[in-house]
Each structure stands twice: as C-alpha cells, then as structure tokens.
C-alpha cells in the first residue's frame, strides 16, 4: 500500500508551507530510531504527498517534486545544562519574536497562535548573573491535542519543538529571512501531556549564511528527552512560502 503524508494548515510555519520541524518529523515517522531529514522545497499544505521508502531511506514527493529526504542518523552533540522551568519561563519573556517575527503565525513559535492551537514555544536568552550565556530557552507544557496512540506526545511534535528555538540561538539577519534546511533528532524518552518541559537552543557553529544549532527537550524531572541538530540558511525574502 502506498503511504502518504498530508500537512494540515494548522501546522504551517511560513503562511503557505509546513513548519520545518513538524514536516521533518512527519518524514521521520517512517524511519526507525534517530533520523536526519533534509527539506528540499517548502512543504505544501493540505496536499497529499507520496512517501517512497527504499531500504532505510525515505523520500517525500509532491507530484514530481522532491519535498524532503530522510535517513537514519546519529545525533552526537554535547548538550549544555538546562535552566529550570521557572528560569526558562523567565527567558520566554525576553523572546525577540514578540517585537518582530518573520512568521508570527508559525505553529511552533508564532505569538499569534492561541493555546491548544500553536505550541507557543517562545525561546528567549538565558541570563546568569545578569548576563547572557549563549543559550535560549522556553518553558513548554504540551496539551492533549498532541497525543499519539500510546497516550504520550507524538514524535512529530517532539521534532517540531526542536526546530524553532535553534533559529533564535543566533542573531537575526539584517536582511532576508531564515529557513530550516536540515534537522536530525534523537528521541530519548517519552513526554506526557501536562509536563512542565524546558526547551533549549544554542549555536554550535556558523559559516557565512549557514548556521548550525543544537536544541534539546527536557521533561519535568530534568531528564533530556530529545536532542536535535539543525542546519539553517539565511536567504532573501521568499514571497508566498
């Protein structure tokens, strides 16, 4: 039987395409274990896309257009110590997206989204001794609309929350915008609805218009439940994406 994926309009990032993390997670569901997904074009909304599986590799196609590719991967990065939930909530108050946002309706980080609609992950700078520490963080309490058949938060939403905080871990470009190019994620444990979670992001490296970031999701116990490694691109403004 042919597999397909449809990204509902609810899960958009830019107004006319899927949120990058959610879209990557939708591909990764067809891969066992940690995976890396590369986005080739902005994923369309409310449109069936064909899933092609070859061995352990996956392709996502919209007609004859290649939307994304995915394959098994390891995510071997150092994860900095996270702030506690109260400090993460305080960091959220410094979220720069409240003042200006490329995509204010983004499913993950858009301030225009309401509770139980968007994820409202607002990653702001972490301060220690009144100074920045090179990390952003947000508090996040997942709701029951995000559950899978096991009663825990579905994996595609774990991928989603590991997306946008990385975009706020480096300075905003003076011109153009930024888009996710590739995301690798290792899920280490389950997340339950109602948990007081902490999401962190930090820049690992950059080269010209390319940025490499790490993100992590911590459960209420303080245990790291998932880690991500992303590649971001600064690009000219793309009307209509």
Name all domains of the chain by residue range, CATH numbers in brackets.
3-72 (3.10.129.10), 85-235 (3.10.129.10)
Give the rounded percent of residues in the chain with a pLDDT score beyond 70. Answer: 96
- The average pLDDT across 16-32 equals 97
137: which strand partners? 124, 200
Residue 81's pLDDT band (cuts 50, 70, 90): very high
Residue 129's pLDDT band (cuts 50, 70, 90): confident
Residue 101's pLDDT band (cuts 50, 70, 90): very high
Q: Is 106 or 238 the better-scoring residue by pLDDT?
A: 106
pLDDT at 99 over 70: yes
Q: Kindly state the tokens that stand for 42.
A: 């902005």
Block residue for tokens 């997942």? 142
pLDDT at 158 over 70: yes
């Amino acid at each position: 039987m042919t597999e397909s994926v449809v990204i509902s309009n609810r899960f958009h990032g830019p107004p006319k395409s899927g949120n990058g993390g959610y879209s990557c997670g939708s591909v990764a569901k067809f891969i066992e274990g940690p995976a890396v997904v590369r986005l080739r074009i902005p994923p369309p909304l409310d449109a069936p896309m064909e899933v092609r599986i070859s061995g352990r590799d996956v392709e996502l196609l919209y007609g004859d257009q290649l939307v994304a590719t995915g394959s098994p991967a390891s995510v071997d990065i150092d994860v900095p110590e996270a702030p506690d939930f109260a400090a993460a909530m305080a960091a959220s108050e410094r979220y720069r997206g409240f003042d200006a946002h490329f995509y204010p309706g983004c499913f993950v980080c858009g301030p225009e989204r309401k509770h139980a609609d968007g994820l409202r992950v607002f990653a702001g700078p972490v301060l220690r001794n009144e100074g920045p520490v090179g990390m952003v963080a947000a508090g996040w309490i997942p709701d029951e609309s995000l559950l899978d058949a096991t009663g825990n938060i579905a994996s595609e939403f774990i991928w989603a929350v590991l997306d946008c905080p990385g975009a706020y871990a480096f300075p905003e470009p003076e011109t153009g915008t930024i888009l996710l190019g590739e995301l690798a994620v290792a899920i280490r444990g389950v997340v339950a609805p109602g948990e007081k979670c902490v999401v962190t992001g930090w820049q690992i490296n950059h080269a010209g218009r390319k940025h490499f970031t790490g993100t992590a999701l911590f459960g209420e116990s303080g245990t790291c439940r998932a880690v991500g490694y992303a590649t971001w691109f600064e690009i000219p403004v793309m009307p209509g994406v």
